[in-house]
Each structure stands twice: as C-alpha cells, then as structure tokens.
Homo-oligomer: A and B are copies of this chain.
C-alpha cells in the first residue's frame, strides 16, 4: 500500500467531556510521527468549522499546550450539535479538496459518527481519496458495540464521589432533609445514573434507590420504595435519570423552558427531580431536596478517571494509526480483554454500525424491581472509574457508660 500524503483534520462534536481533549492530544501527537501527514488542522465548532473553513493550525502549537490538553476538560476546538444538510456536504467536499485533507477524524457520539460516515460517502462518490475515522466520545455511554465510551468513566467517578458525599450529608441531616433526589444526565439511557451505585461501600450507604429510563416509572411503586427506605434508615438518597419515562414513553416531566429542542430534535430535559420531590412531599409527607449538577458533572477534571483519560488518549492515537494503515469508515472500538485484571485494547467497528444507534442499559444490569442496578453492572463499571474513591473515616457508635 502506498502512503496517502496530505493534511489531517480533526473535529470535536456534541457535549464536552473531561477527556475529549485527551483524544485530541492523542491524534496530534501520533500524527506528528507520520510524514505522510503534512499538516494538522482543527475544525472550530466541529463540522461547522469544515463548512465555514474555520480551522486552527494544530501543527504550530506549543508542544506543552498539546501535552496540557491531557488535563484540560471541555472541547479545546469548540464543539457543535449540527445536522449537515445535503448541499453542505458538497461544500465539505470542496473544502477537503481545497485544503488537500486526506485524513478526517471526528470525535463524538452517535450523531457525530453518522456525520463522519456521510463525509466519507461524499468523498467516495466523487472519487476523492479520504480516510475517515470516528473517535468514540460520549458521557452517555450509549454507543452500540463498544464496551464503553471515553468520557463515561469520568462522569461515573464524579457521580460516585458526589453521591457518596450527598449520602453522608443526608445521613447527617436526614432528620431535617429526609430525602435527597439527585438528577443526573442521560438523554435516553441510564448509564450515567447507574454509575451512582459505585458510591455504595456498605449496605446502608447511598444511593438507596436508582431509577433509569430503561424501566417505565410508576408513581405508586416509587412511593412505596421511598417509604420502605425511609422507614428503615430515617432518610433516603435517590438517583434518577433526567430522561425518565412513563409506560407510554412520555418524559416524567416537561421542561419548563420555552426553547427546548436542539438541532437534532433532541428534547432538552429538566425537572424530573423537582417532580419527584413534590410527589414525595405530597405522598409521604416528608421533606425532599433535589440536586441537579447538570453539565458540571461531565467536565470535571478534579474527578476525572485515570483509566478514562488514558483510554481517550489511546483511541486518539489509534485513530491515526489505523488511518495511516489504510483504514477508513470505521470508529475506533474499545474491547475489554478477558481475565481478572481490567484491560481494554482497540479494534475497529464500521461507522454504519454505530451511527445513530443507541445502546440501552441491558436487563442483566438492572434489578428485578427496577429500582437499582445488579452486581453485574458494578463489575462492568467499577474498573472504568480508575481506582477506589478517597478513604473516609467513620466513628464507632460506642455508647457512653456512666
């Protein structure tokens, strides 16, 4: 195979994460090793940067700044959620030619993998040689086939820590604030919410109840669940997915915002925790408070998982290696090796198999009652958060004897 000489372009798409800049660093640092890659351009605001010819020259950056990306959250190139129209794909083809771009990398979720696939298609249809590789990224962890998505391990660690802290808080002051409801991100799947279970070290630790959109929400069962925990412990910590739905697939609460649909037609959610607090106050006559950490949970470097940071870097590097090796129309896949020690390696999965697909939390990861996760989920998720949570101390309940 002859070397394909030309420029490289990389874009970041969808919601920012703690580790998507690690993937960017991986791409840049790997690309510098390959002389067929003559220049490196960063799309500003993802695919919109291609359409608008808005690029940053990545080859002229300070190497220390590139290294620093491995510990910088959000999306250094700026991101987008943009559905490209057919005539804009024509424009993208022009830009590919004009800038002699032969390597196209796009980091994102299922919408972004679809965009990568379509960019490749327009090039193919016009006999323009291009290597297009998708780089997985989504805190939602909902891409098909891949073991888990870069970004997920870090949001999971953030939520494990936050839920444990919130649990200690509620344990201490639960006689006043009886119930805490934490609303997590998760548009259509419960992966993020499920990760709050990683907070639990002992039987009575938070979270006590977990509700995922994979199981239709039922008010009466919910109230009975909360009542049972409250009667046992005197308080309860509940984690719930923003995308919770009822048996008709309707979101449990409507957003209170007037403009609530993004360009892909995804509804912006909010408010399920408020709704549940009302339900608890009215149904059980006990006080409930809610936390909705929102986007703060997805971009925290303080709680980033080392495993996640390393894997995000690896998928960036491997994307370049695969492309230089002649591969195109694939997303880099993370494959968990068998064996006791956790280890992931990469291979490739066709873009068409992941584009627009959604992997829900499977039944084996959700308990029969639909109000918690199983040990199988813990086994799956625990290695992803990069080690134990910080050690805390607990006083022994030694009574005073006169």
Residues of A within 8 A of B (CB): 12, 15-16, 21, 39, 41-42, 45, 48, 55-58, 60-62, 64-69, 71-81, 98-99, 161-162, 165-166, 168-173, 175-177, 180, 182, 256-260, 262-263, 268, 270-271, 274, 277-278, 281-282, 285-296, 298-303, 390-402
| Chain B residue contacts of A277, Cβ below 8 A | 256-257
Q: CA A282 – CA B12 in complex, angstroms? A: 30
| Chain B residue contacts of A166, Cβ below 8 A | 295-296, 299
| Chain B residue contacts of A263, Cβ below 8 A | 176
Is the CB–CB distance between A395 and B172 below 8 Å? no
Is the CB–CB distance between A165 and B65 below 8 Å? no
Is the CB–CB distance between A286 and B303 below 8 Å? no
* Copies held by the complex: 2
> What would 18 more interface pairs be, CB under 8 Å, given A166-B296, A257-B278?
A48-B175, A55-B399, A57-B400, A66-B393, A71-B393, A73-B169, A74-B165, A78-B172, A78-B173, A79-B173, A80-B176, A81-B176, A176-B263, A182-B294, A256-B277, A259-B285, A291-B293, A302-B390
A sample of 26 cross-chain residue pairs with beta-carbon separation below 8 angstroms, ordered by A number, consists of A39-B400, A55-B400, A56-B399, A56-B400, A65-B393, A65-B396, A69-B395, A71-B393, A76-B172, A79-B172, A79-B173, A81-B173, A168-B299, A169-B298, A182-B294, A257-B274, A257-B281, A257-B288, A259-B285, A260-B287, A268-B287, A268-B289, A289-B294, A291-B296, A293-B294, A302-B390
Q: Nearest B residue to A69 by beta-carbon distance?
A: B393
Is the CB–CB distance between B393 and A72 below 8 Å? yes
For the complex formed, measure the closest distance between the CB of A363 and the CB atoms of chain B, giving whole angstroms: 30
| Chain B residue contacts of A58, Cβ below 8 A | 395
Residue from B170, B180, B182, B393 within 8 A of A68 (CB atoms):
B393
| Chain B residue contacts of A60, Cβ below 8 A | 396, 398
Is the CB–CB distance between B41 and A400 below 8 Å? yes
Q: CA A15 – CA B45 in complex, angstroms? A: 42
| Chain B residue contacts of A173, Cβ below 8 A | 15-16, 75, 78-81
**Given A161-B302, A399-B55, are A169 and B393 also a contact pair (CB < 8 Å)?**
no
Q: CA A300 – CA B288 in complex, angstroms? A: 20
| Chain B residue contacts of A170, Cβ below 8 A | 295
| Chain B residue contacts of A65, Cβ below 8 A | 393-396
Q: Nearest B residue to A168 by beta-carbon distance?
A: B74
Q: CA A394 – CA B177 in complex, angstroms? A: 42
**Given A57-B398, A81-B173, are A300 and B73 also a contact pair (CB < 8 Å)?**
no
| Chain B residue contacts of A294, Cβ below 8 A | 182, 289-293
